[in-house]
Structures are given as structure tokens and as C-alpha cells.
A and B are shown apart, each in its own frame.
Chain A
């Protein structure tokens, strides 16, 4: 600190004028505190009012948004559900509702996995009327096929068992 800085420091201190803290100052200060407190309360009240208004608008709009979303959710269901119900309707009643939703989705991978060794997998499963050819072609799956083999003797439910066989073999 050089001379000038020392002089500057002393000058700043020497020029300090004593100003007493008078009652006017006190009143003015407390009036400022009160007005600030009031404005803070108003800000808080305004903020909470805005929050409540936003929440109520959101809650009012929520049901309408849900009702808009519902038709879009129902659209895919009619496209998938009627086709299996029409196929399985006349033959058997109870197994159809449980089997139909899963089978159209699970059967193609099951046939592909089962038919991966023979390239014409789906074609063989669609025409299983010669049961001997199916059992011969599937030597690996010969053990599961004998139990269903008595069932193909009853000729009418061929379509059902065609679809059930791969799923059974896949589960086993």
C-alpha cells in the first residue's frame, strides 16, 4: 500500500459523518418491512392461486383426454378376436376363448421352430391327413405325436388339432 492508498483510506474514514438512528428512520424502516411483508404475502397468494387454477384445469381436461384415448385402444381388439372365434365356434366351446388369443401369435413361431428342420413346416402341418408321413418326417417329435395320433382318427376336429399340436410340442 503506497502513500496515496494510505491517504485514500484515511480520507474515506475521516469524512464519515455521524448520523444518528432517529425514530423517523425506525418508522420508515418498519413501514418498509410491513409493505414488503404484504407484497410477499400477495405473491404467495397469487402463486398458490395460479397453482390451484392450473391443477383444476388439468383435472378438468384429464377425463376428456382419457375418453379420446379409449377408442384408439379398442380398435385392435376386434380385428384379432373375431377370426378365431368364428373358426373354433362350432367345434368346441370351452377351449376356444383361452386358446384363440394365444394361438395365432404363438403358433407361427412354434411352427417355424418345429419346422425349422424341415423347410416346408407349415405346409406339412396344414395337410396332416397322412399321419404316417407326419410322424415319419418328424422323427424327433415322434414321441409327442403318438398321444395325439389317436385323436386324428376322429377326423372332424382336424383343424383344431393342427393348431394345437405345435403348441403342445412347443410346451413339451
Chain B
């Protein structure tokens, strides 16, 4: 029983790991470490809910958990980082491709939004969810979710207008 559960769970995680990590990264405004922590926590919660959720919509469950944890974690002041003597290796300037530059610009712009606005924008424009599902994931009324999304997009338009136009 436990083995069947573990097999199904592992298959799901292996199939969706990359996408979940990307969503978490967008939700955290580009913080890779925080994104990995969020995905890990959300998947641990999914493991305990797996017998109930497996046959229905495990991805929706993880998405909801991710969004709420990201909104909650944005209020934290300390993340358990500890100072180190040597800085980790950074990418050389020659490695920075246009995709990486776009991603870092997008993540930097997303980081300037409030957690709710960021979550609404990511769910609406990356996950392409309808407003009702965005509201359900955020745990707020549809009008509030719509307001978060429109304000977030307006802010992003202001920040990214110079960056997105040349790409498009």
C-alpha cells in the first residue's frame, strides 16, 4: 500500500518537478533557494494528502499550497540564511544569454509586487487559470483576485515596459 502510494507520488513529482519549481520561483520573485524550500514543503504536504488527492487534482492542491505558503513566507523576516566567508561562484558575464537576462528582469520586476499581486499575476498569466480558480487558490473573492491581478499587471507594465517591448 505504502509502496503504491510512494510510486504514484514519485511519478507525479518527477513529471511536475520542473514546472513546480518554476512557479515557485516566479512566486518568490526569483529566489531559487526559497523556491526549492517552498516546493519541498508543498510536496511534503502533498504526500500526507496523497490518498485523498491523487485521484482528483494533485497539481491544483500543490499550486494552492505553494501560493499560500509563498504569501505567508513573504512576511517572514529571516530565512535561516547564515553568513559565509566566501561568496558562491557567480556566472561569468559571457554566460548571460538573452533568456537569462529576460528571466532575471522578469523576476526582479515580480519581486517588486506584493505577494498577492505576484501570485495573482503568475496564476493568471503563467498558469492561464480562470479568475475563479485564481480566487480559489488565493483564498479570496473573485473580485479581489481580479483586482490583485490588474494592479499587478499595471505595476509590471510600468516596470517592464522598456524590457518587454524589444523582446516582443
Contact = CB atoms under 8 A, between A and B. Distances in A.
A3 interface: yes
Given A29-B40, A33-B47, A36-B44, A11 B18 contact: no
B102 A14 contact: yes
Interface residues of A, number: 27
A4 B10 contact: no
A108 B135 CA distance: 74
Interface size range of chain B in the complex: 20 to 34
Tell me if B's interface is mostly helix, strand, loop or mixed.
Answer: helix
Tell me if A's interface is mostly helix, strand, loop or mixed.
Answer: helix
Interface string A1-38: 00111111111111111111100011011001100100
Contacts of A28: 40
A24 B17 CA distance: 13
Interface of A: 3-21, 25-26, 28-29, 32-33, 36, 40
Given A8-B153, A19-B17, 9 more contacts: A4-B153, A9-B125, A9-B128, A14-B102, A15-B102, A21-B13, A25-B17, A32-B41, A32-B43
